[in-house]
Protein backbone atom coordinates (compact mmCIF):
# COMPACT_ATOMS: atom_id res chain seq x y z
CA UNK A 1 0.00 0.00 0.00
CA UNK A 2 1.37 3.36 -1.02
CA UNK A 3 0.41 6.74 0.46
CA UNK A 4 0.39 9.83 -1.78
CA UNK A 5 -0.75 13.40 -1.33
CA UNK A 6 -3.74 14.67 -3.25
CA UNK A 7 -1.52 17.12 -5.15
CA UNK A 8 0.89 14.36 -6.15
CA UNK A 9 -2.01 12.17 -7.24
CA UNK A 10 -3.40 14.97 -9.44
CA UNK A 11 -0.01 15.58 -11.06
CA UNK A 12 0.80 11.92 -11.66
CA UNK A 13 -2.69 10.39 -11.97
CA UNK A 14 -2.02 8.51 -15.22
CA UNK A 15 1.13 6.85 -13.90
CA UNK A 16 -0.48 6.06 -10.57
CA UNK A 17 -3.46 4.43 -12.25
CA UNK A 18 -0.94 2.27 -14.11
CA UNK A 19 0.51 1.25 -10.72
CA UNK A 20 -2.99 0.34 -9.54
CA UNK A 21 -3.46 -1.76 -12.69
CA UNK A 22 -0.37 -3.71 -11.64
CA UNK A 23 -1.77 -4.45 -8.18
CA UNK A 24 -0.72 -1.44 -6.08
CA UNK A 25 -3.21 0.11 -3.65
CA UNK A 26 -2.97 3.86 -3.12
CA UNK A 27 -4.16 5.88 -0.14
CA UNK A 28 -4.67 9.52 -1.07
CA UNK A 29 -4.21 12.02 1.74
CA UNK A 30 -5.33 15.63 1.87
CA UNK A 31 -4.33 17.99 4.67
CA UNK A 32 -2.75 15.02 6.43
CA UNK A 33 -5.91 12.89 6.47
CA UNK A 34 -6.76 9.91 4.26
CA UNK A 35 -9.58 10.79 1.86
CA UNK A 36 -9.55 7.97 -0.69
CA UNK A 37 -8.28 4.51 -1.36
CA UNK A 38 -7.62 3.52 -4.96
CA UNK A 39 -7.27 -0.22 -5.41
CA UNK A 40 -7.32 -2.67 -8.31
CA UNK A 41 -10.76 -3.58 -9.61
CA UNK A 42 -11.88 -6.98 -8.34
CA UNK A 43 -15.38 -7.21 -9.77
CA UNK A 44 -16.96 -7.10 -6.29
CA UNK A 45 -18.94 -3.98 -7.20
CA UNK A 46 -20.64 -5.89 -10.01
CA UNK A 47 -22.35 -8.23 -7.56
CA UNK A 48 -25.90 -7.66 -6.40
CA UNK A 49 -26.43 -4.36 -4.61
CA UNK A 50 -27.51 -4.46 -0.97
CA UNK A 51 -30.90 -2.94 -1.77
CA UNK A 52 -31.63 -5.87 -4.08
CA UNK A 53 -31.27 -8.45 -1.29
CA UNK A 54 -34.50 -9.49 0.41
CA UNK A 55 -35.04 -7.81 3.75
CA UNK A 56 -35.79 -9.61 6.98
CA UNK A 57 -39.37 -10.76 7.42
CA UNK A 58 -41.06 -9.21 10.42
CA UNK A 59 -43.68 -11.19 12.21
CA UNK A 60 -45.83 -10.82 15.25
CA UNK A 61 -48.12 -13.02 17.26
CA UNK A 62 -51.81 -12.32 17.27
CA UNK A 63 -54.08 -10.60 14.80
CA UNK A 64 -52.53 -9.08 11.71
CA UNK A 65 -52.82 -5.34 11.29
CA UNK A 66 -54.99 -5.66 8.19
CA UNK A 67 -57.38 -8.04 10.00
CA UNK A 68 -57.61 -5.61 12.96
CA UNK A 69 -58.42 -2.70 10.64
CA UNK A 70 -61.11 -4.70 8.83
CA UNK A 71 -62.65 -5.84 12.15
CA UNK A 72 -62.74 -2.23 13.40
CA UNK A 73 -64.42 -1.08 10.16
CA UNK A 74 -67.05 -3.81 10.49
CA UNK A 75 -67.67 -2.92 14.14
CA UNK A 76 -68.29 0.76 13.30
CA UNK A 77 -71.04 -0.02 10.76
Taken in order 10, 16, 18, 23, is the CA torsion positive or negative?
A: negative
Contact present, 29 and 5 (Cβ < 8 Å)? yes
Check residue 53 and report its DSSP letter: S
Contact present, 40 and 20 (Cβ < 8 Å)? yes
- Which of 29, 37, 39, 38 is closest to 7 using CA atoms? 29
Q: Which CATH number applies to 1-42?
A: 3.40.1620.10
This prediction's pTM:
0.56
Q: What percent of the chain has pLDDT over 90?
A: 52
**pLDDT at 62 exceeding the cut of 90:** no
Distance CA 29, CA 45 (A): 24
Amino acid sequence: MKTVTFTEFRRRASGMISEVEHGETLVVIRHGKPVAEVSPFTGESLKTSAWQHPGPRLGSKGVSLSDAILAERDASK
